[in-house]
């Protein structure tokens, strides 16, 4: 089984690290992975996105036209990627700053206040973990424990003081998506 994921938002929202973390978690759990980053020259505040493919078999090509899953951290990313998600796919939306307009009926849409959840545990910069947690609640690409272990193993040394907060935000995003599903 192969799952393609596009993660997109502003530079500084942890878009690229979210993709790297998923790729590390996949590799650490014996999966084949690709991670392709893309960002504007302005970096922080500009657009950033990455494509991650996690597979049980070798990945044929790292390019994805229609992802199985899209995590959109901001409004421009929603406008660009919401229409591209495969029918039957998953769209995770940061409802703290994104308005869902004319929602598609052929995909699963999860809206969580990722900025707000992250701020509860220290800093809004951890919103990427809330988005990953929400994705895993609705599409278990990898076990949550695999992502937690990857955080332990791959969070840069200069960010280690944020490890516990990241773990808490990951779990809060997971719970928020489960709760949202129960309410629908």
Q: What is the CATH number of the domain that holds 106?
A: 3.40.920.10
pTM for this entry: 0.94
163 has pLDDT over 90: yes
Kindly list the distances between the CA atom of residue 18 and the CA atoms of 55, 57, 101, 105, 184, in Å, as whole numbers in the listed order. Answer: 17, 22, 25, 27, 27
The count of structural domains within the chain is 1
Residue 124's domain spans which residues?
2-183
Average pLDDT over residues 24-29: 98
- d(C-alpha 63, C-alpha 23), whole Å: 15
Write out pLDDT tens, residues 44-94: 667 899 999 999 999 988 889 999 999 999 999 999 999 999 999 999 999
Determine the pLDDT at residue 45. 63
Determine the pLDDT at residue 122. 80
- d(C-alpha 138, C-alpha 141), whole Å: 9
- d(C-alpha 154, C-alpha 135), whole Å: 20
Is residue 82 within 8 Å of residue 90, measured between CB atoms? no
Residue 43, Cα to own-chain centre: how many angstroms? 19
């Amino acid at each position: 089984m192969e799952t393609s994921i596009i993660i997109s938002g502003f530079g500084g929202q942890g878009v690229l690290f979210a993709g790297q973390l998923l790729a590390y978690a996949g590799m650490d759990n014996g999966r084949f992975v690709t991670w392709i980053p893309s960002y504007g020259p302005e970096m922080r505040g500009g657009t950033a996105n990455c494509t991650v493919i996690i597979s049980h078999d070798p990945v044929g090509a790292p390019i994805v036209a229609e992802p199985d899953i899209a995590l959109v951290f901001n409004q421009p990313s929603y406008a660009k990627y919401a229409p591209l998600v495969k029918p039957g796919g998953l769209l995770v939306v940061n409802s703290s700053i994104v308005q869902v307009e004319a929602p598609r009926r052929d995909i699963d849409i999860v809206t969580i206040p990722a900025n707000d959840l992250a701020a509860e545990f220290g800093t809004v910069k951890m919103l990427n973990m809330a988005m990953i947690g929400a994705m895993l609640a609705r599409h278990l690409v990898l076990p949550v424990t695999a992502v937690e272990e990857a955080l332990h193993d791959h969070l840069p040394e200069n960010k280690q003081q944020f490890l516990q907060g990241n773990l808490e935000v990951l779990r809060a995003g997971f719970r928020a998506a489960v709760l949202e599903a129960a309410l629908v």
